[in-house]
Amino acid sequence: MSTNNTPTLNQDPGLTFKTVKAYFWALFIDVFLWSYTILASWKIVYEKIILGERFPEFSWNQPLIALGAGVVVSLALFMTKMSAGRACLGLMKRDENKPIMREPASLFGVFILILTFVSGLFVSQVSISEFLSTSGLIGAKRIFTALLNPNFGIISEAVMAAVETIYMAFIATAFAIPVAFILAFFAARNLMNGSRLTMAVYSFVRFLLNISRSIEPLVWAIIFSVWVGIGPFSGMLALCLHSVASLSKLYSEQIENISNGPIEAITATGAHPVQVIWYGVVPQIILPYLSFTIYRWDINVRMATVIGLVGGGGIGTMLMQYQGLAKWNEVGLLVIVIAAIVWLMDYLSAKIREAIK
C-alpha cells in the first residue's frame, strides 16, 4: 500500500483525468474482488461445505448475481478502509504507526487468499482418504513393481522408436529455425516502431505467435494426426509449429535487448534496412540464437515422447499402446529408455551451451 499524498475525492475539487482514471480502476478492482468473494463463498463455502453438495449445479445467473452484489458492496465500502482498490493504487492514507497487516484492506486480501486456497482444494477434489485408500495403494504397488521389472525383450523395438523420436525432434527444430529467424525481426518492437504500417505488421505477427504458442503441442499433434494421419510426420509438424512460435518470441526479445549503437552507426551511413539488420543486428544475436536453438531441440526431444501419446509417432506411441494393454513391464522399459534420452540430451545441450559462451 502506498503512503504518498495522492489527493482523494474529498480533498481535490479540481480532479484531473489521471486521478479520475485511478479511482475508476480502484473501483474496478473492488468490484472484481467483491464479486469473486461472493461467488466463491456461495459456491464453495455455502454449497460445498455447509450443504455438503458433491456436484453443485451451476447456471450463468449465479455469476451475474454475484457481479450485481459485488457492485453494490463495492460502492458502499469504496470510501472506507475496506477498499482494496484504493489501497493498491495508493489512493488511501494510512496510519504509519499501525502495522500494514492490521489495515482492513490487508485483512480483506488475506481473507481472499484463504478463500482461494480453500476453493482450490475443493475444485481440485483433493482427497487424502482416496490418496491413502487400500485399493489405491495396492494398485500403485502392482504398477511400481512391474515398472521396476522391465521387459528387456522389446529393447530393440524401443531403441528404434527412440531413434525415430530424436530424428523427429531434430527435423522439427531444423524446419523451425529459418522461419523463426525471419519472423523474429517482424516481432521485434525496436525494429518495427518506425511507422504505423510496421507497427501493424508487428502487432499482427505477435498476435499469430501468441495464438500458436498458447496451443500446446499435444493439441497440435491431434490436429495434424487428423490432417496427415497418425505417425511421426504429424508429430514433427506439431513440434515444428510450436517451435516456430517459441523461438520467434525468444529471438525477437533478444533483438529488442541489443545495443542501438551499431544500428545507429550503420544507419547514419545511409545503409539499406536489410544491411542495417545484417551488419548491425545479426552479429549481436548469433550466440544467444544458438543457445536458444539448442535448448529448443532439447525441449522438442522431451516433448516428442509426449505427443506420441496422441499418435505423434516415436516412443510415445509405443508407450500409449503398452499402457493401454496394462503391460507395465514393457512400460517400465520404455520409461527407462525415455529417461536415458532426456538425461543424454540434457547433458549434451548443457555441454554445447557452455562451449559457445
pLDDT at 152 over 70: yes
Instruction: Give the range with max mean pLDDT: 266-270, 271-275, 318-322.
Output: 318-322
Mean of pLDDT over the chain: 83
pLDDT computed for residue 14 by the predictor: 53
Amino acid at 281: V
Q: How confident is the model at residue 356 (pLDDT cuts 50, 70, 90)?
A: low
Q: How confident is the model at residue 111 (pLDDT cuts 50, 70, 90)?
A: very high
Q: How confident is the model at residue 357 (pLDDT cuts 50, 70, 90)?
A: low
Give the integer Cα–Cα distance in Å for 209 and 246: 8
Q: Which residues of 132-145 are buried (b: 16+ CB within 10 A; e: fewer)?
A: eeeeeeeeeeeeee
pLDDT computed for residue 28 by the predictor: 94
pLDDT at 103 over 70: yes
Q: How confident is the model at residue 29 (pLDDT cuts 50, 70, 90)?
A: very high
Q: List, as one string, the DSSP characters of 144-179.
A: HHHHTS--GGGHHHHHHHHHHHHHHHHHHHHHHHHH
Cell numbers for 279, please give them.
551488419
Summarised one tens digit per residue, pLDDT across range 179-213 is 998 898 888 888 788 788 888 898 999 898 888 88
pLDDT at 306 over 80: no
Q: How confident is the model at residue 37 (pLDDT cuts 50, 70, 90)?
A: very high
No. of helices (H) and no. of strands (E), the chain: 16, 0
pLDDT at 68 over 90: yes
**Residue 327 CB contacts under 8 Å (≥ 6 apart), including other chains:** 151
pLDDT computed for residue 2 by the predictor: 43
- Indicate the range of 12-16, 215-219, 290-294 predicted with least confidence: 12-16
DSSP strand E in the chain: where?
A: none
**Residue 158 CB contacts under 8 Å (≥ 6 apart), including other chains:** 315, 318, 333, 334, 337
Burial of 300 (0-12, 13-18, 19+ CB in 10 A): buried
- CA distances for 327 relative to 142, 216, 330, angstroms: 11, 28, 6
Pick the residue with more confidence: 16 or 329? 329
pLDDT computed for residue 1 by the predictor: 43
Amino acid at 256: E
Summarised one tens digit per residue, pLDDT across range 3-25 is 444 445 555 555 677 888 889 99
- Indicate the range of 7-11, 82-86, 284-288, 329-333 predicted with least confidence: 7-11
The pTM score is 0.65
pLDDT computed for residue 234 by the predictor: 85
pLDDT computed for residue 318 by the predictor: 84
The answer to whether 357 touches 286, Cβ cutoff 8 Å, is: no
How large is the average pLDDT for residues 226-230?
A: 83
pLDDT at 154 over 80: yes
Pick the residue with more confidence: 244 or 316? 244
